[in-house]
Structure 1
Amino acid sequence: MNILKKRLYYLFILGGLFAATTSCDNEEKPTPIEEVLAVKTVAPASGPVGTKVVITGTKFDTTPANNTVLFNTTPAVVSAATATTLEVTVPAGATSGLISVTVGGKTVKSAANFDLSARAVIEKQGNISASEKWTKDKIYLLKGFVYVTSGATLTIEPGTIIKGGGVALDPSGLGKGGTLIINAGAKIIAEGTATEPIVFTSNAAPGARKHGDWGGVVIMGKAPHNRLASQGAEGGISGQLGADNIADDNSGILKYVRIEFPGIALTAGNEINGITFYAVGSGTVVDNVQVSYSGDDSFEWFGGTVNAKHLVAFRGWDDDWDTDWGYTGKVQYAVSLRDPDFADQSGSNGFESDNFSGSGEPATGPNNGLPLTAPVFANVSNFAFTGTPHTNTISGSGPYQSAMHLRRNTDISIFNSVFAGYPEGLRLDGANTLAHATAGTLDLKGIVLANTTIPVRGDRGATGVSDAQAQAYFGATARKNTILTDVSTLLLNADNFKLAGPKFLPQATSPLLKDAVWEGKGADAFFTKETFRGAFGTTDWTTGWTNFDPQNTPYN
């Protein structure tokens, strides 16, 4: 009996041990610690703009665009992504500092600074006679006039910085500021992106830059114009316009490009503009180009057929949009914001349009004056003054004049555009110009003039155009033009005229968002038939690629 009890006791003990062991095996194992967003390493830890950088960490998004990477405060494009690695390129405008990564609203930073080193500087002078490529890991310094000659193509990577040397750096000793000149038969392929624009800027240090520090960009093509074949360019640039008459000539691509502090004055009345197009053909692509602080005109077209969209003229010295010598291209979406304290001795205008240069020439001029200067502009906004315009010289060399000075037999047309704060709105100058307007080949429709001292006037010459004639033309009901005494009626953004970081979108109830007119030349297929007047509807196309503070931007 005792033996049986002992056996039962041992079986009971063994059963308990088995049960305990089984119970332990069925318990849940500890849950691993959940991964969180983190930056572990950055390699390399230093380098110039354009350097490829790999960031390792945890919880990155595998879709590159869903990761936001900042080098200090400058965004970088994420080219590849896994859950543990991000590949990025050091962006133009980056400064030394921490790298931050934001995913799903959460942000983490690197443990140590990324040190930005200066890019190597490559000096350029004389002729570029063979095709070459400029890359964003270097800075290119223009010394004197630099020509890309016929047959050569200059390709410029997105994010590349090109600096224009001042007159002291001219290797010829002739005091010519650095200028890039694309000769007829040559090409420039400068195709930046919204996140990595190509920047032409001053060689001066931040805070020391000024209007006209260097020459600018000049493109010469083979499209029609109305000058002699032997006609040369302004500013002492070599070469002649020729007589090729190739309407669709292709000089390349300018896309997402900024040109800052150009427009050097060589002698009185002999300047280079921010960007100058000589007989450039319609095969050339021009889109998203900003010219800032030009010492002469921001944009000027001498003949040619080239079209353009999304242009910005910022704080220029002289005219914003100057058309001459038979230019017949089309432009849509263009905005100008002026510094009220700077204007030219000649009287700065928004538009200045001529068919010939004056100087005693007859209206027909060389080449029979044909083709007539007859571009078509649409959706343009020119902003000069928020209050009563003033015409006195302050920091510049002269006064403001007209939003539109149309003269010397021009046949320009302007649609659905707004001009605010000029002493004069429209100056219709010359009997031949009035004749074009009356015939309808010069066409102004859907125009809004606001805050102008003299909204519309003629040239007041003995054989020219009277104020009454100009006013009768502009005010005809069919033209659907508007004159306002108070710009606030337009319900613009409160920061529309703000020089440091303007905001151009009109308010949701602005009258500019309706009543656009697309008749006659405005019906051309080139134009997107927007409902709004001025350069902006509900989309700010200047976002991302423009810079409204180039004075203080480090370019190294």
Structure 2
Amino acid sequence: MTNKALALLLIATFGVAMPACKKTEGCTDPAATNYDPSADKDCCCEYAPTPTPSNTVNVNANITNNTTWTSSKKYVLYGFVEVEAGVTLTIEPGTIITGDKDTKGTLIVNRGAVIMAEGTSTDPIVFTSNQPAGQRAPGDWGGLILCGKAPVNLPGGVGIVEGGVEAPFGGSDAADNSGKLRYVRIEFSGIPFQPNQEINGLTLAGVGSGTTIDHIQVSYNGDDSYEFFGGTVNVKNLVALASWDDDFDMDNGFSGKCQFLVSLRNPDLADQSGSNGLEHDNDGQGTTATPYTTPVLSNVSIFGPQATPGTVINTNFKRSGHLRRNTHTRVYNSVFAGFPTGLLVDGSSCETNADAGELKVTRCAYAAMGSLLAVASGSTWDIQTWFDNGGNMSYADNAALGVADPFNLTSPSFVLNGGSPLAAGASFGEADLSDPFFEQVSYKGAFGSDNWTSGWCNWDPQSTPY
């Protein structure tokens, strides 16, 4: 072949092939709005906004007329959503309500408003995070707040809900009715705006005894699972799972009756303020303001973070019960297990109340505490004698309680084994317990042989697709 012929052959070959190496830029994704079928180098794809599903309702304004939320739709709360006075919000069984993470969606039932949220044991109502399964966390949204007109011990008889909400609560109607909450779950809520200014899982502020609250589960909340600011509401069958701060916080003159309460803690999750099972105050300063904080609790089970002595726990865990600041709490027929400290009676006012029979812990069982009893620094009060005179018992380890599997975070069983010392010994002879509200059972703690959490509680909400 001559040199000229070889050159022509090379030109013919590479003259055609070389332009193919220069790729055309464009979007190669058929799902994009600017898809270019002729492009062979992916660049700059653009996509249409994801449409809101047709069965999703965005709730971003106050509720000013009687409204029903149905189970055929999902509701998303944006920011503070208030049910205004004179208005009833009805929520059907099986309805799912989520709180927007960016705006910290929160539902507030104002004084004079009513919420009728009645789920069933097979079809509970769920308030939860709007994040996907596996990506949820405590504090994803605000929580559920009920404000009533029942007495509180704050100046002027009226308070303002903490956590930036600024909704008033309290009044003179002890029998005030804010509606019904039954078979309701509240998950991944709780916003700590700043110290002592938080939204809890379920906030009950000045809520009256005309309100019905039973079968509620608060799980993985960023502050207290339940906080009662005054009021007279009576509650039954409450579950607190893996909250950050306290399980059942009661103050500002709360005087309701409580039966069948249970809590279980995650050993990794505790708040820097100190996490307790019960935390009760008369008010923030421990004054003699009335009405006194005088809740009556029976059949409570508080299971802390320490299943065994070797369990590594967050150092912010403190006590299964912290009674302080002039509270007049009465606790009967209950069980406390697995905390660094069992019971702290904190301050001279509480010691005086205890000696006068106005603060009581009676016929209760304590197990596997780092230290059983504590008093304020410098106090010489004989808490051990007072504890013993109340007919209370203590056990070295949790197994001695004879509870089936109470420390299993994703599938606990709180029912009693055969031969459990908790199966007998409860009593309802005190005047505090004479009200028909209290179901007179033989066992101590929140459970006998009946697992009342079955069917409606969710012990692994992180994995649940909503």
Q: Which interval holds the TM-score relative to the shorter structure? A: 0.7 to 0.9
User: How many angstroms does 1:538 deviate by?
Assistant: 1.0
Tell me the alpha carbon deviations over residues 509-553 of structure 1, each in whole angstroms, 9 at most, x when there is no partner: 111000112232123321111100011011000000100011010
Equivalent positions of 1:465-544 (< 5 A) are: 465-466=379-380, 469-476=382-389, 479-493=390-404, 495-520=405-430, 521-544=432-455
Match of 1:241 in 2: 169
CA contact (8 A) 1:406 1:433 kept: yes
Partner of 1:363: 287
Tell me the residue number matched to 2:366: 449
Structure 2 residue matching 1:259: 3-state secondary structure: strand
For the 8 Å contact 2:267–2:312, the answer to whether it is kept is: no
Matched residue, 1:545: 456
User: In structure 1, which of residues 364, 369, 372 is the aligned counterpart of residue 292 of structure 2?
Assistant: 372
Residue equivalent to 1:9: none
The 1-side partners of 2:385 and 2:312 are apart by 26
What is the CA deviation profile of residues 78-129 of structure 1, one whole-angstrom value per residue up to 9, with x for unaligned ones?
Answer: xxxxxxxxxxxxxxxxxxxxxxxxxxxxxxxxxxxxxxx9661101123111
- 2:75–2:97: 8 Å Cα contact kept in structure 1? yes
Letter in 2 for 1:522: L
Give the residue type in structure 1 aligned to 2:131. A
RMSD: 1.6
Matched, 1:290 2:210: no
Deviation at 1:486, TM superposition (A): 1.3
> Structure 1: 5+ residue runs without aligned partners?
1-116, 171-176
Taking the aligned partners of 2:311 and 2:358, their CA distance within structure 1 comes to 33
Q: Is the 8 A contact 2:188 2:219 kept in 1?
A: yes
Question: Percent identity, aligned pairs only?
Answer: 47
The letter for the 2-side match of 1:420 is A
1:399 pairs with 2:338? no
- Tell me, yes or no, if structure 1 residue 260 matches structure 2 residue 187: yes
Q: Distance in 1 between matches of 2:153 and 2:397?
A: 41
Contact 1:390–1:423 (Cα < 8 Å) also in 2: no
| SS at 1:206 equivalent | coil
Query: For the residues of structure 1 that align with 2:253 and 2:311, how far apart are their CA atoms?
Result: 33
Distance 2:228 2:99 in 1: 21
Say whether 1:336 aligns with 2:266.
Answer: no
Q: Deviations over 1:468-487 (max 9, x none)?
A: 522221111xx110011111
> 73, 98, 108: which is aligned to 1:138?
73
Shift of residue 387 of structure 1? 1.1
Q: Is the 8 A contact 2:188 2:222 kept in 1?
A: yes
The one-letter amino acid paired with 1:138 is: K
Q: 8 Å contact 1:389–1:422 — kept in the other structure?
A: no
Match of 1:383 in 2: 303
- Deviation per CA, 1:10-63: give whole Å up to 9, x if none: xxxxxxxxxxxxxxxxxxxxxxxxxxxxxxxxxxxxxxxxxxxxxxxxxxxxxx
**Is 1:460 aligned to 2:377, yes or no?**
yes
Is the Cα–Cα contact under 8 Å of residues 124 and 456 in structure 2 kept in the other structure? yes
Separation in structure 2 between the aligned mates of residue 371 and residue 456 of structure 1, nearest angstrom: 28
Q: Is the 8 A contact 1:119 1:137 kept in 2?
A: no
Q: 2:283 is aligned with what amino acid?
A: F
Q: Tell me the equivalent position of 1:57.
A: none
Q: Provide structure 2 residue ranges, at least 5 long, that are not aligned to the other structure.
A: 1-51
CA contact (8 A) 1:136 1:157 kept: yes
Separation in 1, partners of 2:250, 2:331: 12
Match of residue 231 from structure 1: 159
Question: Counterpart amino acid of 1:291?
Answer: V
C-alpha contact (below 8 Å) 1:135/1:156 kept by paired residues: yes
SS for the counterpart of 1:524 is coil
Which deviations, in whole Å up to 9, do the C-alpha atoms of 1:224-249 show, x marking residues without a partner? Answer: 1101245311001123235x310110
Distance in 1 separating the partners of 2:393 and 2:119: 38
Tell whether the 8 Å contact from 1:224 to 1:247 is kept in structure 2 after alignment: yes
Does the 8 A contact of 1:129 with 1:152 survive in 2? yes
CA 1:256 to 1:484, structure 2 compared with 1: closer, same or farther past 3 Å? Answer: same
The answer as to 2:340 corresponding to 1:423 is yes
- Report what 1:62 is aligned to: none
SS, match of residue 332 in structure 1: strand
1-structure distance, mates of 2:265, 2:339: 10
What's the offset of the Cα at 1:496? 2.0
How big is the shift at 1:503?
1.2
Distance 2:371 2:121 in 1: 39
Give the Å deviation of 1:504.
1.2
* CA distance in structure 2 between the aligned counterparts of 1:183 and 1:225, rounded to whole angstroms: 16
- 1:306 aligned residue (222, 227, 233): 233
Alignment check: 8 A CA contact 1:339 1:499 kept: yes
SS in 2 for 1:334: strand
Structure 2 CA distance, aligned partners of 1:523 and 1:272?
34
Asked which structure has the greater CA Rg, the reply is 1
The whole-number CA distance in structure 2 between the counterparts of 1:333 and 1:416 is 10
Question: Is the Cα contact below 8 Å between 1:327 and 1:373 reproduced in 2?
Answer: yes
Whole-Å separation in 2 of the counterparts to 1:254 and 1:328: 19
Contact 2:231 2:255 in 1 (8 A): yes
Inter-partner Cα distance in structure 2 for 1:389 and 1:311? 29
| Structure 2 counterpart of 1:222, one-letter code | K
CA offsets per residue over residues 303-328 of structure 1, 9 Å max, x none?
Answer: 00000110000011110000000000
Structure 1 segments, 4+ long, off by >6 Å, are none
Cα distance in 1, alignment partners of residues 298 and 310 from structure 2? 25
CA distance in 1, matches of 2:316, 2:310: 10
Contact 1:389–1:452 at 8 Å: present in 2 too? no
Determine the C-alpha separation between the residues in 2 that align with 1:195 and 1:119: 26
Partner residue of 1:346?
273
Residues 10-29 of structure 1: matches in 2 within 5 Å? none
Q: Scaled by the length of structure 1, what TM-score is found?
A: 0.72
The alignment covers a number of residue pairs equal to 412
SS of equivalent residue, structure 2 residue 60: strand
TM score, norm. by length of structure 2: 0.86
Which position in structure 2 is the counterpart of 1:152? 87
